[in-house]
Structure 1
Amino acid sequence: MEIEINRKDIKNLRIKVEDGIIKVSAPKRTSEREIKSIIKNNLDTIERLKEEDSYKKRYKNHLFGEKIEVKSEKEIEKIYRLELEKALDNIFEKYEKITGLSPKTVQIRKMKVRWGTCYPKSGDIKINLYLAERPIEQIEAVVLHELVHLKYFYHDEKFINECKKYMPNYEEIERELKR
């Protein structure tokens, strides 16, 4: 179990798992013994974080859910951008027709936390570049989700029902995206 400790000007100790490495951010004055004790007392949480991290890597170096061979991160990002642009053109066209909703602009961006973002007032939608790793059905769910935000701002019952109207298995796909 590889552990990386980073001491910072923070008040509370934080633990996360990235690429199989346990990363601890600790206040500068926290002793080694205290850090080890906290890790030992939180092994269940760390195991859960490791499992969640393994799901994140499940689609690494994939294009639309299929494994591809690449030499560098730069190369894969170029492939993702090119292929995702083509796929999004078709997917947006499909869901714009059936929902009657249309964004003013669509941009592909590298995002760390979200698959997509909608700005209803301006009509702009941003899609995460790394969504290209996921199966087409999941990309469609994200596009539908962001389009429906042009009509409903909150993730309330009306929003969910609107998504399910066009994609009956929407909630199931959303759960897959969160894994």
Structure 2
Amino acid sequence: MPASTEMIIEGLTVQVQRKPIKNLYIRVVPPDGQVRVSVPRRTSDARIRRFVAEKLDWVRYHQQQLRERPAVAPSANIYEDGAQVPLWGREVPLRVVDLPARARIRAGAAWLADEEVIELSVHEGAAPEVRTQVMNQFYQEEVRREGLPLLEKWAQVMGLSYNRVSVKTMKSRWGSCSTKRRNISLNSELAKKDPRALEMVVVHELVHLLEPSHNVRFKALMSQYLPDWQQVQRRLNGR
């Protein structure tokens, strides 16, 4: 096991690991931005301090990125008949329909708006993980159904184009944008939040096509398109 020590460098608490390697490496580790440095075993403390000092701007930039990244905690639900489950900022009753084990109907969930209920169809005796998987798929479809029109709308407003859009469950962010490939991802957990949160995340990711970082220009563009975006973001992050 590599030897690990702690050093205070330029006011930063740095975890140092000495390993059988040739070069020095530095990382800023989520979720709290801890700084970790891997160095060759015989590296002096003075060399480590110089190395970290040279990377100080890089470290602080990535720590700021982590602070501004929403902390996402997918909500845990027990999907039982009669439970109240979140959908677009409100609690909706869940109706579980048991399918015969031999039924050839694909398990699924549906939003029955006329009855204000979510209907979850699964085979009899299905494990809780199966119900969770089906509900996750349902939330993905909800975000896709609501999110794609919003992306088209705001892309036109901003005069932008994008390529592929994906919806998936993510643990550390509400959305992401690949500025080189112009691909956008949205978190399926957004289907549990207020619809304004989805719109804010859509605008957020599109703005990254204009400004990749979370700098002053990025914030100014966000305020230009959605003046209350910071309030929406705070509510989304539970702050």
Q: TM-score, normalised by structure 2?
A: 0.49
The equivalent residue for 1:150 is 209
Higher relative contact order (CA 8 A, sep 6+): 1
- Counterpart-to-counterpart distance in 1, 2:226 and 2:159: 15
Spell out, residue by residue over 1:18-65, the C-alpha distance to the aligned partner (whole angstroms, 9 max, x if none): xxxxxxxxxxxxxxxxxxxxxxxxxxxxxxxxxxx9x97599931111
Q: Percent identity?
A: 28
- Indicate whether 1:62 and 2:86 are aligned: yes
Which has more strand, going by share of residues? 2
The equivalent residue for 2:171 is 112
The equivalent residue for 2:185 is 126
User: Which AA in structure 1 matches 2:142?
Assistant: E
Q: TM-score, normalised by structure 1?
A: 0.64
Structure 1 segments, 4+ long, off by >2 Å, are 55-61, 68-72
Structure 2: gaps of 5 or more residues = 5-70, 78-83, 97-130
Which has more helix, going by share of residues? 1
- Counterpart-to-counterpart distance in 2, 1:135 and 1:164: 19
- Counterpart-to-counterpart distance in 2, 1:96 and 1:130: 22
Structure 1: gaps of 5 or more residues = 1-10, 12-52
Instruction: Give the alignment's Cα RMSD to 1 decimal.
Output: 2.9
- Sort the Cα spacing of 1:142 and 1:58 in 2 relative to 1 into closer, same or farther, 3 A: farther
The equivalent residue for 1:172 is 231
Q: Computing the radius of gyration over CA atoms, which structure comes out larger, 1 or 2?
A: 2
1:89 to 148, 155, 164: 148
Give secondary structure in 2 for the equivalent of 1:112.
Answer: coil
Aligned residues: 130
- Counterpart-to-counterpart distance in 2, 1:58 and 1:101: 36
Give secondary structure in 2 for the equivalent of 1:151.
Answer: coil
User: Which AA in structure 2 matches 1:140?
Assistant: E
